[in-house]
Structure 1
């Protein structure tokens, strides 16, 4: 049987519809509407007209108007951006050996810094629950990291010890013909594998005669020793294993589509019923009356209505509860969307809740964010360590430490007083109090404990103070700063 490089892993096909939904929902209304009936099915009446060849154009025009009036809510994009902003509000601390320092400012071939690459990883994992990092060495010998979205990682496998040893990456896209300056679509896949303890890769390109297979390029370190493992790193929402993880915001995307469908129906209702329509009655033969010009053709102060005996003129105007019911259903869907998405970002709670109660509540709400913060940082760290091994640097000197404290942005006056009181009563050290105040945004991020103590000595403890100033009962002990 012929080897088919384009074959998908079964798990890929199982998750692909979810990834497509999230990708479309993230990109927004234009992408959703381009998908047509995939997200907004035809109403029954239009479906029957669409089946009738003689009315197909009329039905299509009616559907296009129905779709154009609908509004798709931007919930997924807002939640993803808000979540990533929360995760990376404080950038991860990245430690590198000297050999890898150039990656800090240029980690990818398209010029992303390590911090920007971390943001891209977190965004993709938040969106689809999956991202791939493949280390490489450029022709000039400099290392880099190549990123692959979930849809590009089409196949993978593991050895007997459940270690990944095979992956196929979709690198298809448009390429420019330098001779003609025209762009053309190219179908291309990169196959990476470990065979006989040696890591190699080759590129498959679809040509007019079928697949064209490039030469296998084996990787070796700077001492010309073969690289004995697959350096590809799979970053998921839960772990770093090759199989896809759950899509974090799948429920929110489904609700967004539901709101879009409900909104289409509501706007259809309003379109046909909200505008008052004049109506006259009393004609024995309405068609003849229209033909003879007896029926009023306009409204307003310059138009005189002459009606037959016992005739009546009035406006037809919607007054039922149908539109209100549709609006209520949309609001309920929005409320559920808040539960699925915005709850992760919410910081408001009961005004009387204690600091510890708030911490427990927010810790629960932010569990998904913390998981993604940890896996995105761990994945970046593992990829950088693989680069270090490849170029002969010390992988143990690579560390990526994410910020996991998402709720201590602001401390209220009561909490600040409690921290200071605990320090003054010797319940906690000056260093502990300082760290807590710094985490809460009371102290600038770039200020050290020594600098803060020096400022306190000058500003509060009498070097230039007036003799009558009342000083705090307890000054910070310099020996406590490192405790």
Structure 2
């Protein structure tokens, strides 16, 4: 097996993770994605094919402009980014319970290689779990012998193996891909060059081993057998200090991505909007036509609005785009808005219409995806801290990092409504999803048609800040 080998479930998720990455970046990344996210129409493909032939009335550049104009008219909504910001804002109000022995106290405020503390690390993990469903963590020591937690992205952990170790299913191999500055930094000091190397962590004769290999599988550094208390090889570790934080649990397998449904809806909205705005463009720009003119005839223009003076027996008119499908496109875009709003609300708080007491009982169990992510993220951080404690010769039971999410009804409702309203009210979309959210949190028990009458009549509607 080559060092570049990938776990099948990892390979299956690469495109999904890239899609989520682009969905978070927003319009710039989606537009740069070109036909990956917005396929060309059959007419555009035919125009480019025609432009490549001899004696074509179109140049190659003119044919390309058809797709560029089509793409630029499309609208990609920022639903994923806005919803993630709302959710992290809700999570950031939770204060972790942190208990560390004196020798590990520095980790509370400097736990990562870039100098951030445990709470910031926790929020990073939550963010990645919401958008990728996965966050690999590695316990490490720096050159000065200080512990820290190295973080990797879902895309940089291509391979892992587990096997029965002492009656448990433990990691026996983990491969991380890393970008490393080439020796000398490259020819241009202002444009450094990087190469991909692989950090291979495994167990050999029940001893933790670390190797750095190139893409050919050849070692580029001496292998190490990190041991207890500062790396002494006389007492090597007998486990791999890696935790794969996940959206549902912390086993190494790839978990689901909570915000993926919303990202899919945003991308479909983007594709529909390209057709919708193209149709509006053609509707607003009718094509003029003239018939009955001879070779020597000329058109005279008069008046401030450039009226045409035609020769005798000549006719003129406009070919207008009827746009019969425009309303269907708009309805389909609304459906995607509603689907995104529903998925965002479910990540925060799931369940249908219910009585106040039933809702309180269900919220006491906290079955939402956001709650699950908070728990697994906190457990992953605590497990890494326990690994470090053991590594340093400290009793792991002296370490605590716990988050018991206690979102108040008001906080959850406000966050849920913020996600829903950002999406539904971002366009002229049906407000059924927003009305359902208002009923769910107890701000109204009126039906949709009654709420519509109130809104159209200018009566006071339940406000978001009342949640």
Following superposition, the deviation at residue 400 of structure 1 comes to 1.7
Q: What is the CA–CA distance in structure 1 between the aligned matches of 2:210 and 2:375, rounded to whole Å?
A: 29
Following superposition, the deviation at residue 322 of structure 1 comes to 2.3
Q: What is the CA–CA distance in structure 1 between the aligned matches of 2:79 and 2:350, rounded to whole Å?
A: 18
Q: Please give the per-residue CA displacement for 1:430-455, whole angstroms capped at 9, x wherever unaligned.
A: xxxxxxxxxxxxxxxxxxxxxxxxxx
Residue of structure 1 aligned with 2:101, choices 94, 97, 102: 97
Q: What is the CA–CA distance in structure 1 between the aligned matches of 2:43 and 2:366, rounded to whole Å?
A: 44
Q: Please give the per-residue CA displacement for 1:9-41, whole angstroms capped at 9, x wherever unaligned.
A: 111112222212111111111112212111111
Report what 1:42 is aligned to.
Answer: 40
Following superposition, the deviation at residue 89 of structure 1 comes to 2.1
For these two proteins, the number of residue pairs brought into alignment is 399
Q: Note the 1:191-206 alignment, pairs <5 A.
A: 191-206=200-215
Q: What is the CA–CA distance in structure 2 between the aligned matches of 1:171 and 1:359, rounded to whole Å?
A: 46
Q: Please give the per-residue CA displacement for 1:205-250, whole angstroms capped at 9, x wherever unaligned.
A: 348xx84432111111127421111110110111111111112222
Comparing 361-370 with 110-119, greater Cα deviation is found at 361-370
Equivalent position SS for 1:171: strand
Q: What is the CA–CA distance in structure 2 between the aligned matches of 1:44 and 1:198, rounded to whole Å?
A: 60
Report what 1:322 is aligned to.
Answer: 325
Following superposition, the deviation at residue 103 of structure 1 comes to 0.6
Equivalent position SS for 2:5: coil
Report what 2:387 is aligned to.
Answer: 386
Q: What is the CA–CA distance in structure 2 between the aligned matches of 1:295 and 1:212, rounded to whole Å?
A: 81
8 Å contact from structure 1 (residues 238, 245) kept in 2: yes
Residue of structure 2 aligned with 1:177, choices 184, 190, 205: 184
Equivalent position SS for 2:114: coil
8 Å contact from structure 1 (residues 97, 394) kept in 2: no
Report what 2:298 is aligned to.
Answer: 293
Q: Please give the per-residue CA displacement for 1:353-379, whole angstroms capped at 9, x wherever unaligned.
A: 764344356568861011100000000
Q: Which structure 2 segments of 5+ residues have no match?
A: 54-58, 414-467
Q: Note the 1:221-300 alignment, pairs <5 A.
A: 221-222=228-229, 224-275=234-285, 279=288, 284-285=292-293, 288=295, 292-294=297-299, 296=301
Task: Return the index of the structure with the highest Cα Rg.
Answer: 1
Report what 1:135 is aligned to.
Answer: 139
Following superposition, the deviation at residue 332 of structure 1 comes to 1.1
**C-alpha root-mean-square deviation of aligned residues, in Å?**
3.0
Report what 1:463 is aligned to.
Answer: none
Q: What is the CA–CA distance in structure 1 between the aligned matches of 2:313 and 2:186, rounded to whole Å?
A: 83
8 Å contact from structure 1 (residues 206, 212) kept in 2: no
Distance 1:249 1:365, change over 3 A: farther
Residue of structure 2 aligned with 1:341, choices 344, 367, 387: 344
Following superposition, the deviation at residue 304 of structure 1 comes to 5.0
Mapped pair 1:401 → 2:405: no
Equivalent position SS for 2:152: strand
Residue of structure 2 aligned with 1:186, choices 177, 190, 195: 195
Following superposition, the deviation at residue 280 of structure 1 comes to 6.9
Equivalent position SS for 2:86: helix
Q: Note the 1:44-123 alignment, pairs <5 A.
A: 44-52=42-50, 53-54=52-53, 56-123=60-127
Q: Which structure 1 segments of 5+ residues have no match?
A: 413-483
Distance 1:179 1:8, change over 3 A: closer
Q: What is the CA–CA distance in structure 2 between the aligned matches of 1:18 and 1:272, rounded to whole Å?
A: 34
TM-score, structure 1 normalization:
0.75
Q: Please give the per-residue CA displacement for 1:177-204, whole angstroms capped at 9, x wherever unaligned.
A: 3686251121111001111121110111
8 Å contact from structure 1 (residues 362, 407) kept in 2: no
